Protein backbone atom coordinates (compact mmCIF):
# COMPACT_ATOMS: atom_id res chain seq x y z
CA UNK A 1 0.00 0.00 0.00
CA UNK A 2 1.38 3.39 -1.02
CA UNK A 3 1.55 5.94 1.79
CA UNK A 4 1.97 9.66 1.09
CA UNK A 5 3.13 12.28 3.54
CA UNK A 6 0.47 14.63 4.87
CA UNK A 7 2.21 17.63 3.31
CA UNK A 8 2.47 15.97 -0.10
CA UNK A 9 -1.17 14.89 -0.11
CA UNK A 10 -2.34 18.30 1.09
CA UNK A 11 -0.35 19.94 -1.70
CA UNK A 12 -2.19 17.70 -4.18
CA UNK A 13 -5.54 18.67 -2.66
CA UNK A 14 -4.58 22.33 -2.96
CA UNK A 15 -4.11 21.90 -6.72
CA UNK A 16 -7.51 20.23 -6.97
CA UNK A 17 -9.03 23.07 -4.99
CA UNK A 18 -7.42 25.57 -7.38
CA UNK A 19 -9.28 23.89 -10.24
CA UNK A 20 -12.54 24.05 -8.30
CA UNK A 21 -11.96 27.75 -7.56
CA UNK A 22 -11.96 28.58 -11.30
CA UNK A 23 -14.50 26.09 -12.65
CA UNK A 24 -15.17 27.78 -16.03
CA UNK A 25 -11.63 28.56 -17.24
CA UNK A 26 -10.63 25.66 -19.49
CA UNK A 27 -7.06 26.79 -20.14
CA UNK A 28 -6.42 27.32 -16.43
CA UNK A 29 -7.89 23.88 -15.73
CA UNK A 30 -5.51 22.38 -18.28
CA UNK A 31 -2.60 24.29 -16.69
CA UNK A 32 -3.47 22.81 -13.30
CA UNK A 33 -3.78 19.34 -14.79
CA UNK A 34 -0.32 19.78 -16.32
CA UNK A 35 1.01 20.29 -12.81
CA UNK A 36 -0.98 17.43 -11.31
CA UNK A 37 0.31 15.00 -13.92
CA UNK A 38 3.90 16.17 -13.49
CA UNK A 39 4.07 16.43 -9.69
CA UNK A 40 1.51 13.91 -8.39
CA UNK A 41 1.43 10.93 -10.78
CA UNK A 42 1.09 8.28 -8.07
CA UNK A 43 -1.78 10.00 -6.28
CA UNK A 44 -3.48 10.59 -9.62
CA UNK A 45 -3.20 6.93 -10.56
CA UNK A 46 -4.76 5.84 -7.27
CA UNK A 47 -7.37 8.60 -7.03
CA UNK A 48 -8.41 9.26 -10.63
CA UNK A 49 -12.00 8.08 -10.22
CA UNK A 50 -12.39 10.03 -6.98
CA UNK A 51 -10.94 13.08 -8.71
CA UNK A 52 -13.50 12.82 -11.50
CA UNK A 53 -16.43 12.71 -9.10
CA UNK A 54 -15.03 15.52 -6.93
CA UNK A 55 -14.56 17.78 -9.94
CA UNK A 56 -17.88 16.87 -11.54
CA UNK A 57 -19.73 17.92 -8.40
CA UNK A 58 -18.24 21.42 -8.68
CA UNK A 59 -17.35 21.81 -12.35
CA UNK A 60 -18.54 19.44 -15.10
CA UNK A 61 -16.17 21.34 -17.42
CA UNK A 62 -13.20 20.23 -15.30
CA UNK A 63 -14.49 16.65 -15.36
CA UNK A 64 -14.72 16.79 -19.17
CA UNK A 65 -11.20 18.26 -19.27
CA UNK A 66 -9.88 15.06 -17.67
CA UNK A 67 -10.71 13.39 -21.00
CA UNK A 68 -9.28 16.27 -22.98
CA UNK A 69 -5.89 16.25 -21.22
CA UNK A 70 -3.29 13.80 -22.52
CA UNK A 71 -1.91 13.10 -19.04
CA UNK A 72 -5.22 12.21 -17.37
CA UNK A 73 -7.23 10.70 -20.24
CA UNK A 74 -5.82 7.17 -19.94
CA UNK A 75 -7.04 6.86 -16.34
CA UNK A 76 -10.65 6.84 -17.59
CA UNK A 77 -10.44 4.63 -20.67
CA UNK A 78 -11.95 1.17 -20.28
CA UNK A 79 -9.93 -1.96 -20.92
CA UNK A 80 -10.88 -3.40 -24.33
CA UNK A 81 -11.02 -7.00 -23.08
CA UNK A 82 -13.36 -6.05 -20.23
CA UNK A 83 -15.45 -4.01 -22.66
CA UNK A 84 -15.89 -7.02 -24.94
CA UNK A 85 -16.95 -9.18 -21.98
CA UNK A 86 -19.39 -6.50 -20.90
CA UNK A 87 -20.91 -6.19 -24.38
CA UNK A 88 -21.17 -9.97 -24.66
CA UNK A 89 -23.25 -10.23 -21.50
CA UNK A 90 -25.19 -7.06 -22.30
CA UNK A 91 -26.21 -8.45 -25.68
CA UNK A 92 -27.39 -11.69 -24.09
CA UNK A 93 -29.34 -10.08 -21.22
CA UNK A 94 -32.68 -8.33 -21.33
CA UNK A 95 -32.29 -4.63 -20.65
CA UNK A 96 -34.71 -4.65 -17.71
CA UNK A 97 -32.72 -7.31 -15.88
CA UNK A 98 -29.25 -6.19 -16.79
CA UNK A 99 -28.26 -3.44 -14.38
CA UNK A 100 -26.46 -4.71 -11.32
CA UNK A 101 -25.39 -7.84 -13.24
CA UNK A 102 -21.81 -7.70 -14.51
CA UNK A 103 -19.72 -10.54 -15.92
CA UNK A 104 -17.65 -12.09 -13.14
CA UNK A 105 -14.54 -11.70 -15.29
CA UNK A 106 -14.93 -7.91 -15.51
CA UNK A 107 -12.64 -5.99 -13.16
CA UNK A 108 -13.88 -3.59 -10.48
CA UNK A 109 -11.75 -0.94 -12.19
CA UNK A 110 -13.80 -1.38 -15.35
CA UNK A 111 -17.05 -1.01 -13.43
CA UNK A 112 -15.86 2.28 -11.91
CA UNK A 113 -14.83 3.59 -15.33
CA UNK A 114 -18.16 2.48 -16.77
CA UNK A 115 -19.85 4.55 -14.07
CA UNK A 116 -17.79 7.57 -15.14
CA UNK A 117 -18.68 6.99 -18.80
CA UNK A 118 -22.37 6.68 -17.92
CA UNK A 119 -22.29 9.91 -15.96
CA UNK A 120 -20.56 11.70 -18.82
CA UNK A 121 -23.10 10.39 -21.32
CA UNK A 122 -25.97 11.59 -19.14
CA UNK A 123 -24.37 15.02 -18.81
CA UNK A 124 -23.84 15.37 -22.58
CA UNK A 125 -27.56 14.79 -23.11
CA UNK A 126 -28.71 17.12 -20.34
CA UNK A 127 -30.27 20.53 -20.91
CA UNK A 128 -27.65 22.08 -18.59
CA UNK A 129 -24.80 20.95 -20.85
CA UNK A 130 -24.15 24.31 -22.64
CA UNK A 131 -24.38 26.42 -19.48
CA UNK A 132 -22.21 24.10 -17.39
CA UNK A 133 -19.43 24.02 -19.99
CA UNK A 134 -19.50 27.73 -20.71
CA UNK A 135 -19.92 29.02 -24.26
CA UNK A 136 -16.25 30.04 -24.56
CA UNK A 137 -15.03 26.50 -23.90
CA UNK A 138 -16.58 24.59 -26.78
CA UNK A 139 -17.59 25.03 -30.42
CA UNK A 140 -20.73 23.98 -32.26
CA UNK A 141 -21.08 23.03 -35.93
CA UNK A 142 -24.37 23.12 -37.81
CA UNK A 143 -24.10 19.86 -39.74
CA UNK A 144 -26.52 20.99 -42.44
CA UNK A 145 -23.89 23.53 -43.53
CA UNK A 146 -21.57 20.64 -44.51
CA UNK A 147 -24.10 18.22 -45.97
CA UNK A 148 -23.11 16.83 -49.36
CA UNK A 149 -19.86 18.82 -49.49
CA UNK A 150 -17.56 15.80 -49.12
CA UNK A 151 -14.54 15.98 -46.86
CA UNK A 152 -14.22 19.53 -45.54
CA UNK A 153 -11.61 20.91 -43.17
CA UNK A 154 -12.98 22.33 -39.90
CA UNK A 155 -9.88 22.76 -37.72
CA UNK A 156 -6.30 22.94 -38.96
CA UNK A 157 -3.60 20.47 -37.94
CA UNK A 158 -1.55 21.53 -34.91
CA UNK A 159 -4.37 21.81 -32.37
CA UNK A 160 -6.06 18.80 -30.81
CA UNK A 161 -9.77 18.33 -30.19
CA UNK A 162 -12.21 15.90 -28.60
CA UNK A 163 -15.76 15.38 -29.85
CA UNK A 164 -18.29 15.88 -27.07
CA UNK A 165 -21.57 15.08 -28.81
CA UNK A 166 -23.17 14.81 -32.22
CA UNK A 167 -26.84 14.52 -33.15
CA UNK A 168 -26.18 12.59 -36.37
CA UNK A 169 -23.97 9.62 -35.46
CA UNK A 170 -24.56 7.56 -38.61
CA UNK A 171 -24.49 10.10 -41.42
CA UNK A 172 -21.31 11.88 -40.37
CA UNK A 173 -17.62 10.92 -40.40
CA UNK A 174 -14.61 12.68 -38.90
CA UNK A 175 -10.88 12.25 -39.48
CA UNK A 176 -7.70 13.96 -38.35
CA UNK A 177 -6.20 16.28 -40.93
CA UNK A 178 -4.22 14.32 -43.57
CA UNK A 179 -5.67 11.04 -42.34
CA UNK A 180 -7.02 8.79 -45.10
CA UNK A 181 -9.67 7.04 -43.02
CA UNK A 182 -12.62 8.61 -41.26
CA UNK A 183 -14.56 7.38 -38.25
CA UNK A 184 -18.32 7.39 -37.97
CA UNK A 185 -19.57 9.33 -34.96
CA UNK A 186 -20.91 6.16 -33.33
CA UNK A 187 -17.30 4.87 -33.30
CA UNK A 188 -15.89 7.94 -31.55
CA UNK A 189 -15.58 8.33 -27.79
CA UNK A 190 -14.03 10.86 -25.44
CA UNK A 191 -10.79 8.89 -25.63
CA UNK A 192 -10.40 9.77 -29.31
CA UNK A 193 -8.32 12.87 -30.01
CA UNK A 194 -8.07 14.56 -33.40
CA UNK A 195 -5.10 16.63 -34.57
CA UNK A 196 -7.22 19.15 -36.38
CA UNK A 197 -10.12 17.50 -38.17
CA UNK A 198 -12.10 17.19 -41.37
CA UNK A 199 -15.80 16.31 -41.58
CA UNK A 200 -17.94 14.51 -44.15
CA UNK A 201 -21.72 14.84 -43.72
CA UNK A 202 -23.81 12.65 -46.00
CA UNK A 203 -27.19 13.40 -44.52
CA UNK A 204 -28.46 15.48 -41.60
CA UNK A 205 -31.49 17.27 -40.24
CA UNK A 206 -31.59 21.05 -40.14
CA UNK A 207 -31.09 21.16 -36.37
CA UNK A 208 -28.31 18.51 -36.11
CA UNK A 209 -25.14 19.82 -34.46
CA UNK A 210 -21.68 18.58 -33.53
CA UNK A 211 -20.08 19.89 -30.33
CA UNK A 212 -16.33 19.71 -29.74
CA UNK A 213 -13.68 21.07 -27.39
CA UNK A 214 -9.98 21.78 -27.54
CA UNK A 215 -7.75 19.10 -26.01
CA UNK A 216 -4.23 19.35 -24.69
Instruction: Using the CB atoms, write b or e for 132-146: b if 16+ within 10 Å.
Output: bbeeebbeebebbeb
What are the pLDDT digits (tens) for 69-92?
A: 999 999 998 776 656 655 565 554
Residue 94 exposure: Cα atoms within 13 Å on the Cβ side: 2
> How many residues are recorded in the chain?
216
Average predicted confidence (pLDDT) for the chain: 86
What are the pLDDT digits (tens) for 153-180?
A: 999 999 999 999 887 667 789 999 989 8
pLDDT of 97: 44
pLDDT of 154: 96
Q: Please give the residue that has the higher pLDDT: either 207 or 66.
A: 66
pLDDT band at 190 (very low <50, low <70, confident <90, very high): confident
Domain limits, the chain: 1-131, 138-214
Residue 157 exposure: Cα atoms within 13 Å on the Cβ side: 5
**Model pTM score:** 0.84
Amino acid sequence: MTVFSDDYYQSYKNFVQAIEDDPKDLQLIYDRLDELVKDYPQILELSAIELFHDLYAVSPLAAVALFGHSGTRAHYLMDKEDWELFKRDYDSTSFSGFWGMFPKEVSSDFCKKLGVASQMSHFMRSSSFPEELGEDNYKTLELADYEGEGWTNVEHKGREFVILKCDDIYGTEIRSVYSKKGLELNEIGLGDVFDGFDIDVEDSSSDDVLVYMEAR
